[in-house]
Every structure is written in structure tokens, then in C-alpha cells.
Amino acid sequence: MPRRMTGTRVTWTIVGLLLAALGGLVYQQKDAWRAPFTGRVVTVADGDTLGVLRGAREVRVRLYGVDCPERSQPHGVAAKQFTSAHCFNRDVEVKVLDKDRYGRIVGEVILPDGSSLNRLLVEAGLAWWYRQYSKDRSFGELEAQARKARRGLWADRNPEPPWEYRERERERGGRAP
């Protein structure tokens, strides 16, 4: 014959079940940022950083695998204009890959026509393949094609990569963009 549960046991059993369910919800919410999402681009900070609405909240999205010139570098303004022209005030899909040390989502941005903004920037010669953070060799192929065709920043004699520019600015005591 099964043992009958007392009131105290029933209470603790219910509390235990509620805590387990709550723990599962907290765990799901903790990793919810990893889910891909669709949202409207509401800001373009520079060529490779966007503000995208995720629900009612704006989140910063850093484009995966690319590094655009800083605004104060040659082609920096052109990179920002290119990005704005392709996605500002449009709904995009963000394929979330990571978060960076600044808390920004790092991801691939898919435009309404299905193309990748990340890849378009490299193809147009307005971004470097960011080898330090991406092992995706297809970015390297796009960069090589842009170099060969002398598109965008590759029309310049010796374009300075933005990571070298930022390092030089930090060494000079200036604020790295």
C-alpha cells in the first residue's frame, strides 16, 4: 500500500517542482540572446556596427568576420554609407554567433533580399576579412577578389587595416575609435 503524503511533504514537493521549473526558465532566458531574430535597423554606428530592434529594445550588433575602416580613416564614411543604404530602416535577420567583450551581439546580418551584409561589405572593398575572429575562408576569397579588382579601399596604394589604426591611436594616447 502506497504511503500517504503529509501536508508538509506535499508543500515541499510543490515548492521543489516550482523551483525546478523556474530554474529551467532562467536558464532559457540566460541563453535567449543566442537565438536568431528579425528586427528593424534603427541606427548605423559605422560600417560594421548596427542598432537593431529586438522586440521593443535596441541591441548593438557587430558584424561577424569583417572589420570596416574607422570613420576617421579613408573609406570609413563610405563603409557607413554603404551599410546605411543597404539596411537602415529595414527589417533584417540577425544570425547570432557570439557576444563580444563590449556586450554587443556578433552576427551575420541577412538583408531582405537574402544577401549577407557582412559579405557585401568585403566584396565591395569596404571591409577587411577579420581573420583574428573568423576562420571562414570565403571572406578571404571575397577580399582577394576586391583587391584584384581594386574596389573600394583596395584602390588605395597601401590601406591601413582598422586594427592597426586603432592600435596606433591607443599608442599615441588618443582615444581608439
Residues carrying an active site annotation: 62, 70, 104
Q: How many alpha carbons lie under 13 Å from residue 136 in its C-beta half-sphere?
A: 17
What phi-psi label fits residue 55: left (phi over 0), alpha (psi between -120 and 50 degrees) or beta?
Answer: left
C-alpha–C-alpha distance, residues 177 and 172, integer Å: 13
* CA atoms of 68 and 79, how far apart (whole Å): 7
Cell 537602415 belongs to 88
173/95 Cα distance (integer angstroms): 36
Q: What is the DSSP letter of 116?
A: B
Cell triple for 115: 544577401
